[in-house]
Amino acid sequence: MSDRIRTLLAALESSPRARTLTRAVALVAAVSVFALLTAHPHHARVRHPAPRSAPVHARQSPPAVPSTSPPVSTTPSLPPQDPQDQPGSESARRAHDAVARRPAFQHIPYDDGQLSITLVGETADGRPVLIVAASTVKQARDGWRRFLARYHDSGRTYTPRFDGRSR
């Protein structure tokens, strides 16, 4: 047996190609063994016993005294209702007036495939600035008028900018 190993080793020493092949096989074998040892879920684990410590004796607590105050709820409280949701409040009146002044505003952003209306800002006096886009400026203006008519809005409280470029 040892003669055969010596013969193989002699052959490896004389051929550079055989040495390279042998090194590659040895490297693949080493990586395979490493992968098996580290990735296999059933490999043997070394268990170390937990260190023993001195037993801890529980202290005896005094008996509970009943509380005289009502229990405090630990559930989070709901936030107060938004004032505009309370009928008859000043906030509710202002919200109603804002919707009445601009009935179409609640439908922006608007896009029907032909016309697109997008809010882009606000003027110094508080009027919404809108980009109204269609294939042409004429189509954008016509679409804007139809949009306002659909929602019964005069359009005086908006600042539209008409865009005729392809959307």
pLDDT of residue 139: 93
Give the bridge partners for 117, in sequence order: 110, 132
Whether residue 25 is contained in a domain is answered as: yes
Instruction: Please provide the DSSP assignment of 34-85 as one string.
Output: HHHHHH-TT------PPPP-PPPPPPPPPPPPPPSSPPPP-SPPPPPPPGGG
d(CA 19, CA 28) in angstroms, rounded, equals 14
Does the pTM of the predicted model rise above 0.95? no
d(CA 118, CA 156) in angstroms, rounded, equals 17
Whether residue 138 is contained in a domain is answered as: yes
Residue 148 contacts residue 155 (beta carbons within 8 Å): yes
pLDDT of residue 48: 61
Whether residue 94 is contained in a domain is answered as: no
Question: Residue 27 sits in which domain range?
Answer: 2-39
- Domains in the chain: how many in total? 2
Mean pLDDT by 10 residues, the chain (167 residues): 72 73 78 73 58 66 72 69 68 72 80 89 87 93 92 87 77
Whether residue 66 is contained in a domain is answered as: no
Give the bridge partners for 159, in sequence order: 129
Give the DSSP H/E element, type plus range, for residue 92.
Answer: helix 90-101
Whether residue 146 is contained in a domain is answered as: yes
